[in-house]
Amino acid sequence: MLKLGLEMEMVVADGHSGASHTVQDYFEAMAQRKQRRGQHPVVKSMAGRAVAVITDTGDSGLDNGFNHLESALGPLPGGAGALGRLDALVSVELDDVLASLADEGAVVLNAAQHPHCRLDDDFYRTVRAPKPIYDDWVGHRGWNHRVGIDAKAQNGPTTAVPVAQAAQALDVMLALAPAFIGLFANSPLEGGQETGRLENRLTIWPRMFANARHAGDRRLSQLPERPFGTLGAYFRWAYGDGTAMQTVPALVTRDYKGAPACRVMGDPSVLDFLAGEVWPAEHCVDGTLTLVVPDSTHFEYLQFAPFLDARYRFRFGQLPSVPALLSALAQEDGIERLFEACTVDGYIEGRVPGATFCDPASVREMGWEAARTAAIAPSALQAGLLGNLAQAQALVSAWGWARLARLRERAMVHGLADAEVHALAGEVLAVARTGLDPVDQPWLDYAEWTWLHRRTAADRLLQTWRSATGDAASRLQAVVQNHGIIAPSAWPAGRSAA
């Protein structure tokens, strides 16, 4: 591991009823806690509302809405013990999150989406975070963005990789997604009903893009027919024919969700845009016209466009010229050589694991030692695979790209009850364990217990739901009692995260 971090999303609920909760003074409370600890928090606002607290250890913010929190933590240096250091950071953050939510009577649910939440337009407009890019997604691109407003939440590990191995690492994480889905499934309910899937959260992409203006938007959420093999192939797929570029900042910035945006007229692909000299554009807020000159910062900025199970994320050390970018894209390994020359800092962003935490139900069933590793286990699994990349690639080859692609839906529906998904997950765990330093291997405990017993967080959530009496609202009270996450400061002494 060169470096690692975590994008930790959280489903917020009322601490008594379990209903979806919209945070009110949460960010102010977070800032005060971090300041008392000696940090120097900066509260970020949009449209007159606080939306994040930024410190030197990460950003405590929102994902889609004010009922859906996201903490982006790290990166931290890799090496032996890195996962323990990440856990220490996560533990402090979760304590801050839960204490700040407690001030307004709310908790975080151990769930990858809220079990009983509205998805209608009125609720969406009330709860949605005021990020300008969402206006374009809904109004221009035709996305059904509200299908995620019930806080469909992931636990996204981020693991740095050398540029020379980036494409292979991305291919491995995409191909082995069914194992992650099966091990970390945690969203069997939606709208107060059983969905027939253990990981319903991942239905968000086909639903969101069902009526998209551009067919390429749907394609960029689907596994390609074959591995990428090189970064050039990945960017040609993401930025090339059949795709339409997203909005770009009206000002030079890397804040793609928060920046004032303009839409390049004609919806060119990124590659066509870069090949032009100047483009007419309109500001998304008021429709006024402007001109945009293509720049390598646009290439970097638009990297969020694919909605795959894993993405390659990067930052240039030195910005290349646009002609150098286009020339590199035309060569088989040109992007790798250009990125090396530009000292790119890149990592794999995992997007498959459902948000999973330590809660009373998991402690009762698994015991503390396994349950307390729930939030870190996806990071351990990804880091182990990328630390043992040759064997991970061999595993992908043995199973076959097309066969693994077919397992994805079965993993969403059946989880580890599916024999092939279970077999794959077992092999993935073995490869990952070998790829970790011995001091880091215990962070796989949650995943290994889940595999051994074929019992996911989704299974426990369904058990609570089915055993409770009354209507959906009554069952939610049982959910919040059994699946409200436990603050790390309340865990018994044992494995040290520090």
> How far apart are alpha carbons 418 and 197 in whole angstroms?
12
Q: How confident is the model at residue 497 (pLDDT cuts 50, 70, 90)?
A: very low
Q: What percent of the chain has pLDDT over 90?
A: 95
Mean pLDDT of the 280-296 span: 93
Mean pLDDT of the 137-149 span: 97
CATH number of 3-243+305-490: 3.30.590.20
Q: Exposed, middle or buried: residue 223 (CB in 10 Å: 0-12, 13-18, 19+)?
A: middle
What's the first-to-final CA gap in the chain, in angstroms? 18
**Phi first, then psi: what are they for 49, rounded to 5°?**
-125, 140
Mean pLDDT of the 308-317 span: 98
**Residue 392 CB partners (closer than 8 Å, separation 6+):** 172, 176, 385, 386, 431, 435
Domain boundaries, the chain: 3-243+305-490
Mean pLDDT of the 309-335 span: 97
Q: Angle at the Cα of 61 (from 104 to 65), degrees rounded to 5? A: 75
Average pLDDT of the chain is: 96
Please tell me the predicted confidence (pLDDT) of residue 498: 32
Q: Which residues partner with 146 through β-bridges?
A: none
Does the pLDDT at position 259 exceed 80?
no
Does the pLDDT at position 496 exceed 50?
no
Amino acid in the structure at residue 130: P
Choose the weakest-confidence range: 109-118, 177-186, 284-293, 320-329: 284-293
Choose the weakest-confidence range: 5-19, 251-265, 379-393, 412-426: 251-265
Mean pLDDT of the 256-266 span: 79
| pLDDT tens track for 185-240 | 999 999 999 999 999 999 999 999 999 999 999 999 999 999 999 999 999 999 99
Please tell me the predicted confidence (pLDDT) of residue 315: 97
Please tell me the predicted confidence (pLDDT) of residue 442: 98
Strand extents, DSSP E, 78-167 = 106-109, 155-160
Q: What is the CA radius of gyration of the chain?
A: 22
| pLDDT tens track for 96-124 | 999 999 999 999 999 999 999 999 999 99
**Residue 185 CB partners (closer than 8 Å, separation 6+):** 112, 198, 199, 354, 411, 412, 415, 456, 457, 458
| pLDDT tens track for 463-494 | 999 999 999 999 999 999 999 999 999 999 85
> How far apart are alpha carbons 422 and 408 in whole angstroms?
12
Mean pLDDT of the 377-395 span: 98
Give the single-character DSSP code of 147.
G
Mean pLDDT of the 396-402 span: 98
What does each C-alpha distance from 394 to 171, 183, 258 come to in angstroms? 12, 21, 41
Q: How confident is the model at residue 183 (pLDDT cuts 50, 70, 90)?
A: very high
Give the single-character DSSP code of 227.
-
* Structure tokens that stand for 287 in this block: 């429709």
